[in-house]
């Protein structure tokens, strides 16, 4: 069996797939399998894979199921001890997999490890280094837009990793479950990062693992749907994952952030179409409240870390 399984979700990515698959072929670490989960593409993606990349196993779905559902089908089919999730619009450094795997083998307490992900078109600027979780329930992308001047060249713990080009320990999924398909797309990596921390799994940032992301290549044609999903899923994540003790201790900070952001967004941009989707996302989350509360009960039951520990890893880029 391979040591690593690479799962690539794809939707009409024929023009993008060669970039990530060719750089996978050049990896210094060779003991891995490739699983492409196709979301009902109509652009010839499957034909390209069969003709040019026969090493890739294909799971063909009948329509677009977003991100969480296809990724889960890939993880279920994976035979490796470790699973890499890889967007189809990312170019990889040849040492990417070797460095991520080495970091996880060195740190058995970690359930995930993320790379230094740069922007493909501006290779000196950072796309994402990891996920920062704040006590006011706000989520930030570490390093986004910063110029890389060597200030992030030290491997560190982070709250969570971005799912675009990171490696996960498959045993972690066995413990906490797969990605939540209720999210469809957006915030599912924040959700699983929080669930992992609740269950005692740390997350790593490894700067020697490099990737280059073609920012916006897979979502820029979806118009207002990201606005709807981002806001809806932000509410779902908060209601599902944040322990009650933290909500109580930080109630006014959370209230100011969420109420202030909502009112500011709506009042300032009331007549814009995007605002309609923003409001719709908020109410869409609350319509799912019964399902969210059932999930919350299961998630909170997995917690084996203290509130003090969670507080110690919040409000910080690196831990």
Confidence of residue 260 (pLDDT cuts 50, 70, 90): confident
Confidence of residue 271 (pLDDT cuts 50, 70, 90): low
Confidence of residue 279 (pLDDT cuts 50, 70, 90): confident
Is residue 223 over pLDDT 70?
Answer: no
Q: Does domain 4-213 have CATH number 3.90.550.10?
A: yes
- Coil/strand/helix, residue 8: strand
Exposed e or buried b per residue across 3-20, where buried means at least 16 C-beta atoms within 10 angstroms of its C-beta: bbbbbbbbbbbbebbebb
Position 276 scores a pLDDT of 76
Position 44 scores a pLDDT of 97
Compute the 3-state secondary structure of the chain and give helix, strand, coil in percent, each to the nearest 5. Answer: 40, 25, 35
Is residue 221 over pLDDT 60?
Answer: no
Q: What percent of the chain has pLDDT over 90?
A: 87
Position 215 scores a pLDDT of 82
Comparing CA positions, the residue from 53, 41, 22, 23 lying closest to residue 218 is: 41
- Strands, DSSP E only, in 143-262? 156-158, 165-169, 202-213
- pLDDT tens digits, residue range 64-109? 999 999 999 999 999 999 999 999 999 999 999 999 999 999 999 9
Residues ≥6 apart with Cβ < 8 Å to 148: 116, 118, 124, 125, 126
What are the helix and strand counts (H, E) for the chain?
12, 12
- Residue 176 CA to residue 304 CA, distance in Å, equals 12
Q: What is the pTM of this model?
A: 0.94
Considering all CA atoms of the chain, what is the largest pairwise distance in Å, rounded to the nearest integer?
57
Position 263 scores a pLDDT of 73
| Phi, psi (rounded to 5 degrees) for 279 | -65, -45
* Residue 161: other Cβ atoms inside 10 A: 32
Q: Where are the domains of the chain?
A: 4-213, 225-303
Residues ≥6 apart with Cβ < 8 Å to 51: none
Which tokens hold the place of 293? 């509360």
Position 227 scores a pLDDT of 84
Is residue 116 over pLDDT 60?
Answer: yes
Is residue 219 over pLDDT 60?
Answer: no
Residue with tokens 């058995």: 108
Which tokens hold the place of 55? 């090493």
Position 222 scores a pLDDT of 56
């Amino acid at each position: 069996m391979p040591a690593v399984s690479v799962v690539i979700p794809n939707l009409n990515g024929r023009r993008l797939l060669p970039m990530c698959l060719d750089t996978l072929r050049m990896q210094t670490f060779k003991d891995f399998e490739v699983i492409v989960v196709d979301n009902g593409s109509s652009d010839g993606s499957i034909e390209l894979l069969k003709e040019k990349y026969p090493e890739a196993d294909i799971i063909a779905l009948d329509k677009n199921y977003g991100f969480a559902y296809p990724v889960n089908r890939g993880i279920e089919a994976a035979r490796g001890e470790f699973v890499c999730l890889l967007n189809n619009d990312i170019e990889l450094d040849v040492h990417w997999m070797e460095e991520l795997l080495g970091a996880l083998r060195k740190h058995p307490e970690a359930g995930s490890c993320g790379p230094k992900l740069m922007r493909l078109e501006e290779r000196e600027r950072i796309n994402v280094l990891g996920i920062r979780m704040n006590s006011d329930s706000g989520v930030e992308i570490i390093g986004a837009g910063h110029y890389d001047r060597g200030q992030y060249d030290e491997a560190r713990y982070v709250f969570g990793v971005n799912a675009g080009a990171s490696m996960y320990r498959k045993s972690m999924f066995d413990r906490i479950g797969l990605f939540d398909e209720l999210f469809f797309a957006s915030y599912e990596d924040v959700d699983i990062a929080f669930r992992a921390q609740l269950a005692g799994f740390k997350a790593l940032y490894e700067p020697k693992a490099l990737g280059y992301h073609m920012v916006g290549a897979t979502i820029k044609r979806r118009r207002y749907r990201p606005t709807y999903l981002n806001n809806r899923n932000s509410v779902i994540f908060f209601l599902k994952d944040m322990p009650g003790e933290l909500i109580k201790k930080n109630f006014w900070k959370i209230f100011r952030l969420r109420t202030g952001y909502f009112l500011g967004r709506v009042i300032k941009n009331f007549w814009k179409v995007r605002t309609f989707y923003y409001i719709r996302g908020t109410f869409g989350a609350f319509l799912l409240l019964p399902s969210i509360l059932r999930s919350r009960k299961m998630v909170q039951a997995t917690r084996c870390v203290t509130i003090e520990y969670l507080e110690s890893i919040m409000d910080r880029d690196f831990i």
